[in-house]
């Protein structure tokens, strides 16, 4: 039987939420950024950087083939002009915005604890799948099945190792059963 904790600690609240059958649980903790989070941010940053020239390439393509595709009795379709105009403005701006967001994660110091929000979802929803997720500017799904006791100590709120092990087993059991 776990030792009684005051009910106002983050660990006690989390344990109570798991035992109560809550479908989604959220908590915050300051932890160092993992290599997995850095690699995920770098991979997404590269992906968006590679998509940045696509509007320019599409504009060039339209310029050369527009007489065949976009004219109707000698007039250019207005919807086509509006579509490509919006695309050429919105896509580069959103790509630059996302790249800045990923840079914020990549620029954080390596061994300094940073605030993070953790989510455990026990049921699939339309937008989110069940599992453990960390959000620190970007969301990253964590593979809870490969977690060691030390990983759970890092993720869960501060408590004794025995209590962390019991809570991690309850979380894993609920994630695997539902």
Query: Which has the higher per-residue pLDDT, 15 or 75?
Result: 15
Instruction: Give 36's pLDDT tier (boundaries 50, 70, 90).
Output: confident
The Cα–Cα gap between 30 and 36 comes to: 16
Burial of 75 (0-12, 13-18, 19+ CB in 10 A): exposed
Packing angle between helix 54-69 and helix 78-106, nearest 10 degrees?
170
Residue 166's pLDDT is: 92
The pLDDT of residue 79 is: 72
Confidence of residue 70 (pLDDT cuts 50, 70, 90): low
For residue range 53-62, what is the model confidence (pLDDT) as tens digits?
877 787 777 7
**Residue-averaged pLDDT of the chain:** 82
Residue 166, number of CB atoms within 10 A of its CB: 15
pLDDT band with cut points at 50, 70 and 90 for residue 178: low
Is 99 within 8 Å of 42 (Cβ atoms)? no
Contact (Cβ atoms closer than 8 angstroms) between residue 2 and residue 160: no
Question: The pTM is what?
Answer: 0.71
């Amino acid at each position: 039987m776990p030792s009684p904790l005051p009910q106002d600690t983050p660990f006690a609240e989390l344990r109570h939420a798991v035992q109560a059958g809550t479908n989604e649980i959220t908590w915050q903790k300051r932890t160092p950024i993992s290599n997995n989070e850095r690699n995920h941010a770098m991979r997404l940053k590269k992906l968006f950087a590679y998509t940045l020239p696509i509007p320019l390439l599409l504009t060039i393509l339209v310029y050369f083939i527009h007489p065949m595709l976009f004219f109707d009795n000698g007039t250019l379709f207005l919807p086509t002009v509006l579509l490509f105009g919006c695309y050429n403005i919105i896509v580069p701006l959103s790509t630059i915005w996302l790249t800045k967001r990923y840079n914020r994660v990549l620029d954080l110091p390596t061994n300094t604890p940073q605030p993070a929000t953790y989510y455990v979802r026990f049921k699939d929803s339309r937008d989110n799948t069940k599992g453990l997720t960390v959000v620190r500017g970007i969301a990253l799904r964590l593979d809870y099945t490969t977690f060691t006791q030390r990983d759970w100590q890092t993720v869960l709120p501060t408590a004794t190792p025995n209590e962390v092990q019991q809570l991690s087993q309850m979380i894993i059991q609920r994630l695997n059963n539902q």
